[in-house]
Amino acid sequence: MPEYELRHDWRLQEIEALFALSFPDLLFRAQSTHRRHFDPNTVQVSSLLSIKTGACSEDCAYCPQSARYDTGLPREDLLPVEEVIAAARVAQEQGASRFCMGAAWRSPRDKDIDRVVAMVEGVRELGLETCMTLGMLSDGQTARLKEAGLDYYNHNLDTSEAYYSEIITTRTYQDRLDTLKRVRDAGINVCCGGIVGMGESDSDRSGLLLELANLPKHPESVPINMLVRMEGTPLAGDAKLDPLVFVRTIAVARILMPRSYVRLSAGRTDMSDEMQALCFLAGANSIFYGEKLLTAANPAASHDRQLLARLGMRMAGTTVEYMEKASERRGLA
Ligand code: SAM
Ligand code: DTB
Ligand code: SF4
C-alpha cells in the first residue's frame, strides 16, 4: 500500500478540497481507495442494545436520553446480564457479527463495572465480537474492560472542535480525546466518529474528519451518523442535511482513513435505498443492523437483507478465526 495513504498530518484545506471535488471524481477516488483495502461487496454488521436508558446527566443537544429534555423516553436501569445475553443471541441468529452495548452515562461508576464485565464475557462466549459505549472511562476501567476481552470501545468526537460547544457543554473535546487515548493505550480497538446534520458548516464536517484522521492511529471503526431528530431535543427542528453532502462525508472519511471500517450509522430510516447504495459506493462498509439503534428506529433486518441482496452485496460473517477462538473458550475445540 502506498505510504501516503495512511497519513496523520492532514490540513483542513486539503480536506475541504476533497469535499469540493465533483461528485463523480470524489466517488471514483473513494471507491478506488476502498477497493485497495476491502472487498467492496461485503458489509460488516453490528447490532445495538441500550443496556441503561435515559436519565443521563449530560446535555448533548441531539440526545433523547439526556435528563434535561422532555422526550417522553422511558428510563431503564442497567439491565440484568441474562437479558443482554439473550438479546445478543437474537442478534447473532439474525447474522450480526458484533454486539454493541450502550449506556446513558457520563461515565460508569466503578460499582457498575462488574456487571458490564460479565456482559462482555457472556457475549464473547457466544462467539460475537463485543463493543461498549459507556461514556468517559478511567484507566482502571479500561484495564478491566480489556481484561474481560472487550474488542471495541465506541466514543465519538461528534463534531469539529470549533462547533462542539454549540452541542455539548457538560464535557469538553479534550475529555473525549483523553478517553480515546486511554482506550487506545489499553489495547482496545477504537470506534470513533460523529454526527452530521446538526446545523454545522461545511468546514465543521471537514474539521471532524480532520480530528479523526489526525489521531495518532486511525480508529478501526468510524461511525458516521446522520442526526436522528428526536422529539423534545433542542435539535428536533433542525433542517434536514442534503443527502448528497452526507454521501460526500462518507467518501471523504474513506479517503482519509483507508483501512478503517466506515459505518453508515444512525439515520438510515430516513434514507432511501438508493442513497444507502451511494454510501456503499462511497466506501461505507459497515451498518447497524436490527430494528432498533439505542432508542431510535432502524430499518427492519429483513429490509436490510433484501437491500444487500438487490445490490449483490453480502454481510461479513464473524471471522473464522474469531469463531475458532470462541469455541476454544467454550471447550469445544
Ligand atoms: N453516553 C455515552 C456517550 O455519550 O458516550 C454512550 C451512548 S451515546 C448515545 C453514543 C453516541 O450516539 C453519541 O456519541 C452520538 O454520537 C450518538 N447519538 C446519540 N443520539 C443521536 C441522534 N439523535 N442522532 C445521531 N446520533 C446520535
Ligand atoms: C454511534 O456512533 N451511533 C450509535 C452507536 N454509536 C452507539 C448510536 C446512535 C444512536 C441514535 C439515537 C438513539 O437510538 O437513541
Ligand atoms: Fe448522555 Fe451519551 Fe446521550 Fe450525551 S449522548 S446525553 S452522554 S447518553
Q: How many Å separate Cα 210 from the centre of its chain? A: 17
Point out the catalytic residue in the list 29, 60, 98, 254. 60
DSSP per residue, 122-151 = HHHHTT-EEEEE-SS--HHHHHHHHHHT--
330 pLDDT band, cuts 50/70/90, is low
Asked if 102 and 154 touch (Cβ cutoff 8 Å), the reply is: yes
**What span, in angstroms and rounded, lies between the C-alpha atoms of 287 and 308?**
11
Indicate which residue's Cα is closest to atom 1 of ligand 2.
223
Residue 319: its pLDDT value, please? 47
Indicate which residue's Cα is closest to atom 20 of ligand 1.
63
- Nearest ligand atom owner, CA of 208: 1
Share of the chain above pLDDT 70, in %: 94
**What span, in angstroms and rounded, lies between the C-alpha atoms of 231 and 139?**
36
Confirm or reject: Cβ of 286 under 6 Å from ligand 3.
Answer: no
For 175-233, the pLDDT digits (tens) are 999 999 999 999 999 999 999 999 999 999 999 999 999 999 999 999 999 999 999 99
Asked if 236 and 206 touch (Cβ cutoff 8 Å), the reply is: no
Helix spans in 97-227 (H): 110-125, 139-148, 161-167, 173-185, 202-213
Walk me through the domains of the chain, giving residue ranges and CATH numbers: 19-327 (3.20.20.70)
Query: Is 329 a residue whose pLDDT tops 70?
Result: no
Cα 102 to ligand 3 centroid, rounded to whole Å: 10
- Residues 6+ positions from 258 with CB-CB distance below 8 Å: 1, 5, 6, 33, 34, 36, 37
Confirm or reject: Cβ of 66 under 6 Å from ligand 3.
Answer: yes
Residue 320: its pLDDT value, please? 47
Give yes or no: 63 in active site.
Answer: yes
Please choose from 50, 62, 68 the residue to mutate so as to test ligand 1's pocket, defined by most ligand atoms within 8 A of CB. 62
Average pLDDT of the residues in 78-95: 94
Point out the catalytic residue in the list 29, 98, 100, 176. 100
Give yes or no: 60 in active site.
Answer: yes
Place of cell 497519513: 7
321 pLDDT band, cuts 50/70/90, is very low
Q: Say if residue 192 carries a ligand binding annotation.
A: no
Asked if 193 and 133 touch (Cβ cutoff 8 Å), the reply is: no
Give yes or no: 192 in active site.
Answer: no
Give yes or no: 191 in active site.
Answer: yes
Query: Is 62 a residue whose pLDDT tops 70?
Result: yes
Please choose from 50, 60, 168 the residue to mutate so as to test ligand 3's pocket, defined by most ligand atoms within 8 A of CB. 60
Give yes or no: 279 in active site.
Answer: no
**What span, in angstroms and rounded, lies between the C-alpha atoms of 223 and 331?**
35
Ligand 3 atom closest to the Cα of residue 168 is 4
Mean predicted lDDT score pLDDT of the chain = 93
Point out the catalytic residue in the list 98, 191, 192, 205. 191
Ligand 1 atom closest to the Cα of residue 230 is 23
Indicate which residue's Cα is closest to atom 4 of ligand 3.
60
Exposed (0-12), middle (13-18) or buried (19+): which is 127, by Cβ within 10 Å? middle
Confirm or reject: Cβ of 235 under 6 Å from ligand 3.
Answer: no
Indicate which residue's Cα is closest to atom 8 of ligand 3.
104
Amino acid at 110: D
Point out the catalytic residue in the list 144, 184, 248, 263. 263
